[in-house]
Chain A
Amino acid sequence: MLSIKNKFSAERDISGCGLCGIINAKKIKTNGRDIKKSISVEHDRGNGLGGGFAVYGNYPDYAELYAFHIMYDNLSAKADVEDYIRNNFIIEKEEPIPTFRTSKIYDHPYLHRYFIKPKSDRPDKLFHELGDDDFVVNSVMLINQNYDGAYVFSSGKNMGAFKGVGYPEDIADFYKLEEIEGYMWTAHNRFPTNTPGWWGGAHPFTLLDWSIVHNGEISSYGINKRYLEMYKYNLALKTDTEVITYILDLLIRKHKLPVSLALTVLASPFYQKIDKMDGEKRELFTALRQIYGSALLNGPFAIVFGHSNGMVAMNDRIKLRPLVAAAMGDFTYVASEEAAIRAVCPSPDIVWSPKAGEPVIVEFEEKNIHQKGGLLGL
């Protein structure tokens, strides 16, 4: 089914799934072979209607540029979007995303990538002064909403999403992930339940440097969506994953909450626990729930969330979906099933099952320092 936007249902898209993540805290790079092997163990958690990967550290030569991965249904959509990009961005490089015909993935949209930076004198500046990140977010939403037949599926720096309709191991071959290197990988195998697979709906879902792979169905979707709309997020995809990404974007990037607190919003402790906390902590957590009650993700989920400083894996507040973690040296592994970890790391130092709502947070030892003020030579 070759479609990059959700045209199947006025309703939202829900699915069950399998997921994996591998991170090296010292930023030692590995190629895509391990993550492919790991997710392929979870073959039965999907149904061939969506697979995908996110990789961090794969574009070191363009690390300061936003790497846009865009799917097009047709070439006229491509021309329209490229007009928009040219008007608003400096394009350092653009090319088709390398793909390789396999027997399993025989039908796919145009897949193109752009390494770009917002112009300092873009027309938009007449109206308001947006930071580069905000402008990129707005542009992604604008393209996804207003440009028929075009869909931005990756927009971060030195990272990229590679996804499509198919089993993840076949998607890995389609993009030849064994030739790509990165220090953090996440993967997803999809089992959509109420819509056929569509290219844009495969995970991971990304925005700027953030990527999410997700197994679950958010029972609170209705209010999470309306809450985000109040902050002018446009929920074009109607997926749970999109909701999670935008909530994290709001909390961490816009509201400047520490990652650990933002995660507490997603799977907040129960009042019976908060009431037993002491003084300031109780006040903090009570306020967190009072303010962000509408952002609580209620219902079953396990997510692996990648960002430029590391990775987070977590469950909902009563652990209604599986999630296992393991560590071996500088590597941390997370997956829906322990077997998926053991397939690539047979005897890890430690294996554990994270508790409900308690995140596994792995940060790189050397953090990324965002350069402010633009690129040399541009």
Chain B
Amino acid sequence: MTKSSFSNIQSEYLALIDHNKCVRCKRCIQNCGWGTYSFGGDKILADHSKCVACGRCYTYCPEGAISIVKNPTVLRENANWKEGLIKNIWRQSETGGIVISGMGTTFKYKKYFDHILLDACQVTNPSIDPLREPMELRTYLGKKPSRLDVGLDENGESVLKSKMPPQIELQTPFIFGAMSYGSISLNAQKAMALAARALGIVMNTGEGGLHDDLVPFGKNIIVQVASGRFGVHRDYLNSGVAVEIKIGQGAKPGIGGHLPGEKIGADISRTRMIPVGTDAISPAPHHDIYSIEDLRQLIYAVKEATDYEKPVSVKVAAVHNIAAIVSGIVRAGADIVYIDGYTGGTGAAPNIIKDHVGIPIELALAQVDERLRDEGIRNEASIIAAGSIRSSADAVKAIALGADAVAIGTAALVVMGCHVCGKCNTGNCSWGITTQRPELVRRLDPEVYGERLYNLISAWSHEIQEVLGAMGVNSIESLRGSRERLRGVELTDAELKALGIKHAGL
């Protein structure tokens, strides 16, 4: 069979240049990671088929001469045979492959956070002014004993009789979600490390190991152990404040990470401890975890390796039976459970998985929190909620549904310029985020974007303080799990029941 020379798939976007404004500075050619632009001797030319609408070119065009528009050429509208479906059939018939993309699903599922409203005080209890009164956001992640073990010292003063299990101290209930060196650039990781240190929170290495440059940030880093075990050794396990065992990820429950060999340069090879140019394909399961009791063994192997000084987190994707799964994980000895909803992001995942597998974090979280309380073990582990936390409002609602803290991934990348184009898997990110091409990575200044990440989390923290004050409480633990302060709108009885909240007005 000979390869067809043309494709049915038309350009999604058009990169239009106003040649009257253009001064031919060629910055667009330099900035575009996709090779859209070239110089035609007297003017800039654009190959529309390469444009992904990542926004880099017009952001950096000094003359404002570029506009990116959706290709107005239409496919005949059909609500059943949607454009994306038709194009995927063409793509797959041309390549015979699985359709892969980056970021979270683009499907329009119901976003439960947008159907939840918050409470505030009026008359019978006073609101508290966060500008004038202390408003506490400090959060500790880790196993909490069910009761305080206290005795008396020689002066008759109360003292702790047994030491608390290890905790991660967060000054605000946010962490940066796991994004590996490989899936994102070292500069992107450095930006998060700088911000995490300044904020008193933590970032997560993902499954790509820990680059030497990040070792000094250990107090603000959670190191991850995933099914590929890339970069895992004893010093690595002991270099952060906690160790996370990654079982699954919201964007791709049930499958492992993929990092193509083209991205594995010398530096990544060293950090991941694999040969240059080999594909880093993590197995779908951990091949030493085929059951919950196996997970327990790995949890305790990690605890042994870290002398019981670090909390062990287990990250899972939100799937149908998540409440029972998390209960098992907690009973297996996890100190933290990180639950990732189906809208969570990824560096690369098959669309079939990303768009169709898993459940919303709001429902998963509510069910998990309820289940752990029913079983009387909610104190045994902290819960981190993730899967597209898009604003401080999402964070507040997640915490009121039962999370101890939330993780942000995509939002942090958006800070660095990401326009959510969903092409992370290609390694051409014009913003220097999800690429290893040195000329692209270089443009991402860790200090500049570290400061912007700091700004974002500070701003969101202030917003949470405003909400707490309006609710009349001055500490985040009075919001955590307090579903009484939430009401649903436009939700069915079944949805309200799953969320454990009342409808507005009741």
Contact = CB atoms under 8 A, between A and B. Distances in A.
A298 interface: yes
Interface in A57-115: none
A221 B157 CA distance: 31
Contact of A255 (B140, B147, B160): B147
B483 A284 contact: no
B136 interface: yes
Contact of A298 (B147, B158, B473, B506): B473
Interface in B104-151: 121, 123-126, 128, 133-134, 136, 138, 140, 144-148, 150
B148 A296 contact: no
Interface string A31-72: 000000000000000000000000000000000000000000
B474 A291 contact: no
Contacts of B482: 220-223, 226
B164 A287 contact: yes
Q: Interface range on chain B: under 10, 10 to 19, 20 to 34, or 35 or more?
A: 35 or more
B365 to A, nearest CB: 14
A294 B480 contact: yes
A361 to B, nearest CB: 14
Interface string A269-286: 011100000001101101
Interface string A192-219: 0110000000000000000000001111
A223 B480 contact: yes
A229 B483 contact: no
B246 interface: no
B160 A292 contact: no
B126 A280 contact: no
A219 B145 contact: no
Interface stretch (B28-36, B337-345, B372-380): B372-380
A283 B161 CA distance: 11
B481 interface: yes
Contacts of B485: 222
A174 B485 CA distance: 39
A257 to B, nearest CB: 6
B473 A226 contact: no
Contact of A223 (B144, B153, B481): B481
Q: Is the interface of B mostly helix, strand, loop or mixed?
A: loop
B475 interface: yes
A112 B392 CA distance: 54
B126 A320 contact: yes
Contacts of A287: 148, 160, 164
A225 interface: yes
A345 to B, nearest CB: 31
A354 interface: no
Contacts of B63: none
Contacts of A288: 148
A230 interface: yes
A216 B473 CA distance: 13
Contact of A290 (B123, B144, B480): B144
A260 B337 CA distance: 34
Interface string A213-248: 000111111110111011110000000000000000
A293 B133 contact: no
Given A220-B473, A318-B474, A290 B140 contact: yes
Nearest to A290: B140
B126 A300 contact: yes
A226 B373 contact: yes
Nearest to B473: A298
A261 B472 CA distance: 24
A219 B484 CA distance: 10
A16 B124 contact: yes
B202 interface: no
B458 interface: no
Nearest to A273: B134
Contacts of B157: 281
A265 to B, nearest CB: 9
A157 interface: no
A284 B150 contact: yes
B376 A231 contact: yes
Among B150, B167, B376: residue with most chain A CB under 10 A: B150
Contact of A293 (B125, B150, B160, B475): B475
A271 B471 contact: no
Contacts of B475: 268, 293, 296, 298
Contacts of B373: 226, 229-230
Given A223-B482, A270-B134, A291 B379 contact: yes
A320 B127 CA distance: 10
Contacts of B483: 222, 226
Interface string B142-186: 001111101001000111100010010000000000000000000
Interface in B344-370: none
A219 B379 contact: no
A258 interface: yes
B479 A291 contact: no
Nearest to B484: A222
Contacts of B506: 10-11
A317 interface: yes
A222 B128 CA distance: 18
Contact of B148 (A216, A223, A257): A257
Given A298-B472, A298-B473, A271 B138 contact: yes
A284 B159 contact: yes
B128 A318 contact: yes
Nearest to A281: B157
A216 to B, nearest CB: 8
Contacts of B159: 280, 284
B133 A230 contact: no
A342 interface: no
A281 B160 CA distance: 9
Nearest to B121: A219
A258 B148 contact: no
Nearest to A191: B124
A287 B140 CA distance: 10
B376 A258 contact: no
A219 B472 contact: yes
Interface string B374-403: 001011000000000000000000000000
A21 B125 CA distance: 23
Contacts of A258: 150, 158
Contact of B125 (A226, A300, A317): A300
A270 B135 CA distance: 9
Contact of B477 (A216, A218, A293): A293
B38 interface: no
Contacts of A137: none
A219 B478 contact: yes
B342 to A, nearest CB: 26
Interface in B444-483: 471-475, 477-483
Contacts of A222: 481-485
Contact of A217 (B124, B144, B167): B124
Contacts of A223: 477-482, 484
A142 interface: no
Contacts of B125: 14, 216-219, 299-300, 320
Given A16-B124, A258-B150, A296-B478, 18 more contacts: A10-B506, A222-B484, A223-B477, A223-B480, A226-B373, A227-B481, A229-B373, A230-B376, A230-B379, A257-B150, A260-B158, A288-B148, A290-B164, A291-B145, A296-B477, A299-B473, A300-B125, A300-B472
13 contacts: A193-B124, A220-B473, A221-B482, A222-B484, A223-B477, A223-B482, A261-B150, A284-B159, A286-B164, A290-B167, A291-B147, A317-B474, A320-B125
Which 8 A-B pairs have CB atoms at the shortest separation, nearest pair first?
A222-B484, A293-B477, A222-B482, A220-B478, A298-B478, A219-B472, A217-B125, A298-B473
Interface of A: 10-12, 14, 16, 193-194, 216-223, 225-227, 229-232, 254-255, 257-258, 260-261, 268, 270-272, 280-281, 283-284, 286-294, 296, 298-300, 317-318, 320
